[in-house]
Amino acid sequence: MPLQDITPEAAPPLGIPKQGGTCSLSIIDTTCSLTVPAKTLVEPAIPGHELINLPTVAFLITHSASGRQLLFDLGCRKDFWNLPRPIAEIIDAKVPGIKVDRNLVDILIEGGMDIANLEAAIVSHHHYDHIGDPSTFPASMDLVVGPGFSVQFLPGYPTSEASPAFENAFEGRSVREMTFSDQLTVAGFRAHDYFADGSLYILDSPGHAIGHLSALVRTTSDTFVFLGGDICHFNGAFRPTKYVPMPPLLLSPTAYACSLFTGCHPDPSNARTSPYYKPCSSADSWYLDPPRACQSIEHLKALDADDRVLVLIAHDPSIMNKFPFFPNGVLDDWHEAGWKQGIRWRFLDELPVDGKAKEYLVSGTYMNGKMVKTLDGTKVE
């Protein structure tokens, strides 16, 4: 008997202010490619999906009315092995696949941008693949960080042993730590109206790391892009849902019965209406507070259910080569172009399917373009 459509439930209202200015938004491939153990990011385990592919994107935000420019995240520094020693050791121990081709600053300059125009970089959180190397940017570029960052990580390594960056990354630079209250909430998140005109909301999205931030960018009068950072690491952590059930047929680009992908779902009876994963809660998890991360993801599900909102997390293979990337275009007309519908179920291609060979984004640890260690930890001479 053929599968039928499931009637979706109504999602909670988002509470996004109806009026506001706009920003132009560009997505940037930071050239940081990661392949990491799924068990450190998501649960429960799905056999055949032991490693997760994580490309890494950042964003350039340009305020339409004033031309003021911001970055959202800074990727990973090219020579990641020269990060503060504790961070470099964690990467060596926990990240079997990593390759970074270029620093973000070089990508921007080669794309024709004057980096002196950058007002600030919103750093979603302190992890190495998001904070990059601020010292390569002009000191006039502020860093906007989440609650708790300053106490934990300033003035930088080695004075602050846990810091993800050396002291010269912060010297002479303004570090603006966000404070949030319940006076303004957007889509369930405590929010800060950055330009004071409704064009960019910085959102308090806790759970993954100290002071984790997301953002909501108004790209037209009534459409938005949600920049999730690491609110989660795989689209199967917030899809499918009761608000947007998996359809019986998936176009990718030919038609496939959804049963091809529901067979590996940990909850078969609800495979079309519940996500495949939730944040990992084990001792070696990359999530600081998994229960709070789950709360943040609940708000994310409601955002994703609204056709006016395009959800983009930092490590999403399904968006690579599907959008115009910096410097070749912007995302502003994503809704008119139908891009959300085109990528919504592409994450399923990363899941194990009978007869499909495993493909890894990066096959080991690369330094200066040369493999020095394979995924299983074998050193390459």
**C-alpha distance from residue 352 to each of 47, 116, 162, 344 (Å):** 8, 45, 37, 18
Residues 2-29 as b or e (16 or more Cβ within 10 Å = b) = eeeeeeeeebeebebeeebbbbbbbbbb
pLDDT in tens, the chain (381 residues): 467 888 999 999 999 999 999 999 999 999 999 999 999 999 999 999 999 999 999 999 999 999 999 999 999 999 999 999 999 999 999 999 999 999 999 999 999 999 999 999 999 999 999 999 999 999 999 999 999 999 999 999 999 999 999 999 999 999 999 999 999 999 999 999 999 999 999 999 999 999 999 999 999 999 999 999 999 999 999 999 999 999 998 876 567 888 889 999 999 999 999 999 999 999 889 999 999 999 999 999 999 999 999 999 999 999 998 899 999 999 999 999 999 998 999 999 999 987 677 889 999 999 999 999 999 999 997
Tell me phi and psi for residue 21, to 5 degrees: -75, -175
Q: Which fold has domain 23-354?
A: Metallo-beta-lactamase; Chain A (3.60.15)
pTM across the whole model: 0.96
**3-class secondary structure per residue, 76-94:** CCCCHHHCCHHHHHHHHHH
CA angle, 150 then 140 then 125, to 5°: 35
- Both tokens of 363, joined, read 């096959």
Contact between residue 73 and residue 122 where contact means Cβ atoms under 8 Å apart: yes
Name residues whose C-beta falls within 8 Å of residue 353's C-beta, 6 or more positions apart in sequence: 260, 261, 264
pLDDT at 355: 63
**C-alpha distance from residue 314 to each of 112, 222, 230, 357, 380 (Å):** 23, 23, 6, 25, 30
**C-alpha distance from residue 84 to each of 1, 115, 161, 231 (Å):** 59, 25, 8, 25
Neighbours of 37 (CB within 10 A): 18
Q: Could you tell me the residue ranges of all domains in the chain? A: 23-354
